[in-house]
Amino acid sequence: MADRDLLFDRFSLSDTLYQLPGQIRERIGRESRDYILNVNEDEYRSHIDSEYRIEPLQLDRNRIEIAEQAEKSVVAQEYGRRFERKGTFITFAVPFSGEREFFFQQPSTLSGLLPRANVTKNSELLITLEGGGDPDKLRAELNGILDNIDQHIHWQRDQLDKWNDGLSALITNEFKARKDKLLKDAGVLGSLGFPLRKRANIPATFSVPVKKKIAIERPQAESKPYEAHPTITEETYQDILAVLKGMTLTMERSPSAFEKIGEEDLRMYFLMTLNGSFEADATGETFNFDGKTDILLRKDGRNVFIAECKFWGGPKLFSDTVDQLLNYLTWRDSHTAIILFVRDTSIATVLRKIPETIKAHPNFLNSGQAQGDNETRVRMKSNRDSSLSLDLTIQVYHVPKTDDSEQDAGGKGD
């Protein structure tokens, strides 16, 4: 039928994709200074990702229906003579998913014969063919048109998959470039991270080498002027985690010394280890605890690292520990840890349950790159300020078991 749209013919898909990085850069550039500096970065990047990630087209050939059967007059031509005749025409409705506009985007590869169909706003292709004859011939004609459309969709998908695969990194780089420039212009870039100086005489026992389409609403951000918050660097964060891991060597080499030890004493061992590896700007202990918090590091009156120490007592107790930790956090881009001691449960069981439990938490944003088999790293949203995110690393340690040792935090839960 001549009234059907010619598909994959109006625009160049290559040109469309070429323009998108500039649109993303311009979109981020239109945001105000204070919005960029105050917004939750993870939520904002997810918001932009949801707008620019492209869902490829896909036909649902298992749900084809006959939308209409009608007698129509058509103009025919025979032996150079044009005349009008009547015929029975059947319109097939073919559901599809994906963005309808891409039926008009030309992939980098094309067939010699472009398909035709009417593209509705109800996510259906309408294909009208003359019927009344051999059903097998009609079915073969319809399948031939659909095969042609599917081939062009496949060629499009090759280009769209490359775009989608690189989208997250593109958004992250553009956001970081804008934010870094704003911080540099404000003269506060250097105050956003501080390295902790390592002591020269770190005990070898404690030393471990460091190894290195559903739209999401635009997140809200406070309109107040941006205030810089101190935070430790990623390198320092990894150094702290590495020192914590080093305690496992001590436990493995001297199991009898730890088989009767409780949570409070284990916490003190970790504190002594950390303070033996790092030094503060002034005299006194770098790491301490203040009653509620197990291990705490402060800078200029602000918390910049915090860790909770608990015996594993099952998923419910672990979730409660995450909630407890989140309630302490009010600072920007904080680095935190939960240290779990396992005594009466298989450590493999605990390591399996932690990811599924933390991903079900309402504050979970995304998973990060852990540095060891005993770690899970995630990005979480602060309870008290939706613009704040934090890095949380959960470390799991086996503590030697004895018959008369006591669980300090929750019993033998799975």
* pLDDT tens digits for range 82-136: 767 777 889 999 999 999 999 999 999 888 889 999 999 999 999 999 876 788 9
Contact 146, 59 (CB under 8 A): yes
What residue type is 13 in one-letter code? L
Please report, in angstroms and rounded to a whole number, the separation of the first and last CA atoms in the chain: 66
Asked if residue 233 is part of any domain, the answer here is yes
Whether the per-residue pLDDT at 1 is higher than 80: the answer is no
* Cβ within 8 Å of residue 295, ≥6 positions away: 267, 270, 271, 274, 287, 288, 289, 305, 306, 307, 308, 309, 337, 339
Cα gap 228→158, rounded to integer Å? 43
DSSP-assigned letters across all residues of 364-386:
EEEE---SSTTEEEEEEE-SS-T
Residue 367 is predicted with a pLDDT of 86
Q: Mean pLDDT across the stretch 307-314?
A: 86
Q: Mean pLDDT across the stretch 372-399?
A: 82
Residue 357 is predicted with a pLDDT of 93
Q: Which two tokens stand for residue 409?
A: 């935090």
pLDDT category, 243, cuts 50, 70, 90? confident
Residue 406 is predicted with a pLDDT of 41
pLDDT category, 329, cuts 50, 70, 90? low
Distances (CA, A) of 239 to 232, 246, 284, 325: 11, 11, 20, 21
**166 and 197 housed in the same domain:** no
Residue 22 is predicted with a pLDDT of 94
Cα gap 335→332, rounded to integer Å? 9
- Could you tell me which of 288, 193, 199 has the C-alpha nearest to residue 232? 193
**49 and 96 housed in the same domain:** yes
Q: Global pTM?
A: 0.57
Q: Considering the chain, what is the average pLDDT of its residues?
A: 78
Query: 328 vs 99, which has greater pLDDT?
Result: 99
Whether the per-residue pLDDT at 289 is higher than 90: the answer is no
pLDDT category, 407, cuts 50, 70, 90? very low
The 10s digit of each residue's pLDDT in 6-62 is 999 999 999 999 999 999 999 999 998 888 888 888 889 989 999 999 999 999 999
**232 and 164 housed in the same domain:** no
pLDDT category, 244, cuts 50, 70, 90? confident
| Degrees, nearest 5: CA angle 8-10-13 | 65
Whether the per-residue pLDDT at 408 is higher than 80: the answer is no
Asked if residue 110 is part of any domain, the answer here is yes
Whether the per-residue pLDDT at 210 is higher than 50: the answer is no
DSSP-assigned letters across all residues of 46-88:
HHHHHHH-----EE-GGG-EEEEEEEEEEEEEETTEEEEEEEE
**244 and 386 housed in the same domain:** yes
Contact 40, 219 (CB under 8 A): yes
Residue 312: what are its φ and ψ, rounded to 5°? -65, 125
Of 35-39, 228-232, 242-246, 329-333, give the range with the top mean pLDDT: 35-39
**97 and 72 housed in the same domain:** yes
Query: 212 vs 412, which has greater pLDDT?
Result: 412
Whether the per-residue pLDDT at 383 is higher than 80: the answer is no
Q: Mean pLDDT across the stretch 284-301?
A: 59
Q: Which residue has the tokens 């934090």?
A: 390
Q: Which residue has the tokens 């870039």?
A: 189
Q: Which of 182, 197, 222 is the last residue of a domain?
A: 182
The 10s digit of each residue's pLDDT in 128-175 is 998 767 889 999 999 999 999 999 999 999 999 999 999 999 999 999
**163 and 223 housed in the same domain:** no
pLDDT category, 390, cuts 50, 70, 90? confident
**176 and 257 housed in the same domain:** no
CA neighbours within 13 Å on the CB side: how many for 175? 21
Q: Which of 148, 182, 216 is the last residue of a domain?
A: 182
Asked if residue 268 is part of any domain, the answer here is yes
Query: 200 vs 334, which has greater pLDDT?
Result: 334
**120 and 154 housed in the same domain:** yes
* Cβ within 8 Å of residue 69, ≥6 positions away: 88, 89, 90, 91, 131
**11 and 156 housed in the same domain:** yes
Q: Which of 182, 208, 228 is the last residue of a domain?
A: 182
The 10s digit of each residue's pLDDT in 358-368 is 999 998 988 88
pLDDT category, 230, cuts 50, 70, 90? low
Q: Pairing relation of β-strands 124-130 and 295-299?
A: unpaired
Q: Pairing relation of β-strands 334-342 and 302-311?
A: parallel
Asked if residue 167 is part of any domain, the answer here is yes
Cα gap 302→297, rounded to integer Å? 8
What residue type is 237 in one-letter code? Y
Cα gap 284→212, rounded to integer Å? 30
Asked if residue 410 is part of any domain, the answer here is no
Residue 249 is predicted with a pLDDT of 65
3-class SS of residue 266: helix
Cα gap 242→234, rounded to integer Å? 12
**173 and 197 housed in the same domain:** no
Structural domains of the chain, count: 2
**295 and 365 housed in the same domain:** yes
Torsion 129-135-136-137 (CA) sign: negative
Q: Which residue range forms the structural domain that includes residue 297?
A: 189-398
**215 and 176 housed in the same domain:** no
